[in-house]
Amino acid sequence: MTTSKTPLLDRIASPEDLRKLRPSELKQVAEDLRRETIDAVSVTGGHLGAGLGVVELTVALHYVFDTPRDKVIWDVGHQTYPHKILTGRRDRIRTLRMGGGLSGFTKRAESEYDAFGAGHSSTSISAGLGMAVARDLADGDNHVVAVIGDSSMSAGMAYEALNNAGALHSRLIVILNDNDMSIAPPTGAMSAYLARLVSGGAYRSIREAAKQLASHLPRFIYDKARKAEEFSRSFITGGTMFEELGFYYVGPIDGHNLDHLLPVLKNVRDKDDGPVLVHVVTQKGKGFGPAEESADKCHAVNKFDVATGIQIKPKANAPTYTNIFAKALIAEAEHDDKIVAITAAMPSGTGLDIFGKAFPHRTFDVAIAEQHAVTFAAGLACEGYKPFCALYSTFLQRGYDQVVHDVAIQNLPVRFAIDRAGLVGADGPTHAGAFDLAYLGCLPGFVLMAPADEGELMHMVATAAAYDDGPSAFRYPRGEGVGVELPERGEILEIGKGRILREGTKVAILSLGTRLADSMKAAAELENYGVSTTVADARFAKPIDRELLRSLAANHEALIVVEEGSIGGFGSQVFQALSEDGMLDGMRGAFKFRSMTLPDAYIDHDKHELMIARAMLDSKAIVGKALELLGDEKAAARVMIA
């Protein structure tokens, strides 16, 4: 008979089962949960360190609070693998981030225990406050808990929410999970005792009685007494800022010690007025040696060997676009001391960790603050510097107002390096860079580029570095390039000029970005159907190469535009240009135009190639679209079902 490695966890199908256990059994549950989390991620890959850091906190929250009636909002959602295991999804935990499997983040459609979807950070307090106010309006009595990491607290949105929550005085519990910034000293028995004391009803009752008594004293004495009490509590705990924002501060406490966590959480649960903030100190990667020892605490990992922690990394066929961007930017910065680089808490994700090693004093990580990053870059540009603001496509969305008002309207030469453009595989729709072509392409004066391969990316970095007449951006995907030979330094491209790679006479395919490889493959396949095909690489989404566009429209029966972006993007710009130039007027006869974009839907996580096929942007879909345009419906149908 095989003995289970997780005997107590095996008895838990939901938090209701967890709450039937004795408090003395919870430490073993946490050990089982940590073991199960490590084992699951070793099979699936994904975010590991953050989840390991909140194992005890996850157990304590589901034990003390009546979830899902009580709402727990996680910020960010990648730390919720232990939460998923405890909330009825253990049987699917080894499908994390796989096609048809569990999301790597919280997802409302996946479980009633996922109170709020969170693929990005710093949203929990705002969402939690909204839920708390909704509860109050409905005369409800459930609890709302927002769990926010210290890194997430670097975003302005978190402070906007704290300010509003303090003013509204709604009953809201915020757990500040301090696992990285070390904003508090190591906690011990005295700190835990004080946290338990000040969170308890007896202390609060005495405090309230003293406040009532003091209110009858002269105003000067009352104010001094109130400040003295707050100071005496904050001097030990460090919570002065939160107190000033209107929160009752408790902490710091050891987030891995259930004997400390449980009584404090019970006390704040039973606090019946106003917002409270509990400061919990945890260790990212806790309980797994390789994670504790690694620089990033195994933030995101591939599949790995549990015994050694060694990750199983697939052999790379070509360098990643991210690394090529870093290489190209270094090459430009070596020749131009005005080039500086900015990122928002993603130095390794954007390649700026590499740039930072070469130019540490010209690299700026502004934390999770994309709005600030954009305007900070605008300020640098005002003073003659050449800022490259490197952000993921979906993260740049957070700074869009600043892109418009602080950069575009003032025509400042800020360069946006947009990583993770297009579909991103296992991270799913929260991280898919689907909209940048649409939301930047509509801005007057913007130069917008998309490389077809890693060599083109180097050219576009060089072009952006040389372009000083206004804002520019270049978007590139996650993952490896196609393996082209790379120059030592990129060449400066002529602004707004595309290129033709294959000449034909019947159908023209105009590709933007990395859909070019599939476009070339489609053209070769179309030759088997007797369809002579031209393939052009737009290079620039804005300004559009009008001369190239007119030539393609005038000399072919059909024009197909292909992009890995949403509707409203490059294809819409092409349609507008063709319309303005009269190329779609009735006298053009049989000319046909189609735009192939991402579907008007969010595509769930899967392998990138499968997502592209589902979006109908692969070579087979392009061939089918061309045959359909030419009137060969039967051949098109055969291609699509093959």
For the segment 387-412, what is each residue's pLDDT rounded down to a tens digit? 999 999 999 999 999 999 999 999 99
**Domain 499-641, second-level architecture:** 3-Layer(aba) Sandwich (3.40)
- 190 vs 17 pLDDT, higher one: 17
Can you give the pLDDT at residue 273?
A: 85
Can you give the pLDDT at residue 589?
A: 57
Residue with tokens 């997502």, as numbered in its chain = 611
CA distance 193 to 516: 63
Can you give the pLDDT at residue 195?
A: 52
Q: pLDDT band for 186, please (50, 70, 90 cuts).
A: very low
CA distance 502 to 40: 48
What is the CATH T-level fold of the domain 9-188+273-301, as seen in this structure? Rossmann fold (3.40.50)
Q: Do domains 9-188+273-301 and 499-641 have the same CATH topology?
A: yes
Report whether 317 belongs to an annotated binding site: no
Q: pLDDT band for 238, please (50, 70, 90 cuts).
A: low
**Full-model pTM:** 0.88
Please classify residue 488 by burial: count the beta carbons closer than 10 Å to its beta carbon, then call 0-12 exposed, 13-18 middle and 19+ buried. Answer: exposed
The CATH code of the domain at 321-475 is 3.40.50.970
Give yes or no: 478 in active site.
no
Give yes or no: 620 in active site.
no
Q: pLDDT band for 185, please (50, 70, 90 cuts).
A: very low
Report whether 370 belongs to an annotated binding site: yes
CA distance 142 to 209: 27
Indicate if the alpha-carbon torsion angle 204, 205, 211, 214 is positive or negative. negative
Mean pLDDT (whole number) for 502-516: 97
Can you give the pLDDT at residue 349?
A: 92
pLDDT in tens, 514-554: 999 999 999 999 999 999 999 999 999 999 999 999 999 99
Report whether 150 belongs to an annotated binding site: yes
- Give domain limits for the chain: 9-188+273-301, 321-475, 499-641
Can you give the pLDDT at residue 190?
A: 38
Can you give the pLDDT at residue 217?
A: 53
User: If DSSP states are collapsed to H, E and C, what string results for 33-64?
Assistant: HHHHHHHHHHHHCEECHHHHHCHHHHHHHHHH
Catalytic residue among 36, 370, 454, 628: 370
Catalytic residue among 84, 233, 297, 398: 398
Q: pLDDT band for 24, please (50, 70, 90 cuts).
A: very high
Q: pLDDT band for 215, please (50, 70, 90 cuts).
A: low
Does residue 364 have a pLDDT over 80? yes
Q: pLDDT band for 457, please (50, 70, 90 cuts).
A: very high
Give yes or no: 284 in active site.
yes
Catalytic residue among 135, 196, 271, 284: 284
Report whether 119 belongs to an annotated binding site: yes
